[in-house]
Amino acid sequence: HYCSKSQNGKFRVKRTTSRKKFRAKLKYFAEWLYQNMHTEIGDLIKQINAKLAGHYRYYGVTDNSNGIHAFGYRIRRKILEVLNRRSQKNSLTWEGFAKLEERFPLVNARIYVNIYG
């Protein structure tokens, strides 16, 4: 929690994801990805989407959009890293990953709960 000004100039308490919880969740997610590295991509993306949706619903509160967008970006980077480890060469680039994401889209981060509305 931190204190800041709202859009109308009044002070209010704003919420953000704890750094400790953020790092722990990334570490847990990375371990899970490595354990499920060889799962078929379609099934893997379905499971990832379920995990991401749960994270976004829990942490998707007012003023925490930076935290959930950062989490989504870091998970995308980790997925690319894990998919590159599936073969002997770095065959997947960001462009290739974008094409893969068109076929198997990941859940987008968004705010689910408006605390002040």
Q: Give the separation between CA 52 and CA 108, rounded to whole angstroms.
A: 9
In the chain, % helix, strand, coil (3-state, to 5) comes to 55, 10, 35
pTM to 2 decimal places: 0.85
Q: Give the separation between CA 98 and CA 89, rounded to whole angstroms.
A: 18
Q: Give the separation between CA 112 and CA 87, rounded to whole angstroms.
A: 38
Reference 71, options 12, 17, 13, 9; nearest CA is 17
Q: How far is CA 51 from CA 7, 58, 83, 90, 110, in A?
A: 32, 11, 18, 26, 14
**Residues 31, 78 contacting (CB under 8 angstroms):** no
- What does each of the 117 residues of the chain score in pLDDT, given as a tens digit? 556 666 677 776 767 788 899 999 999 999 999 999 999 999 999 999 999 999 999 988 888 888 999 999 999 999 999 998 887 776 888 999 999 999 999 999 988 888 776
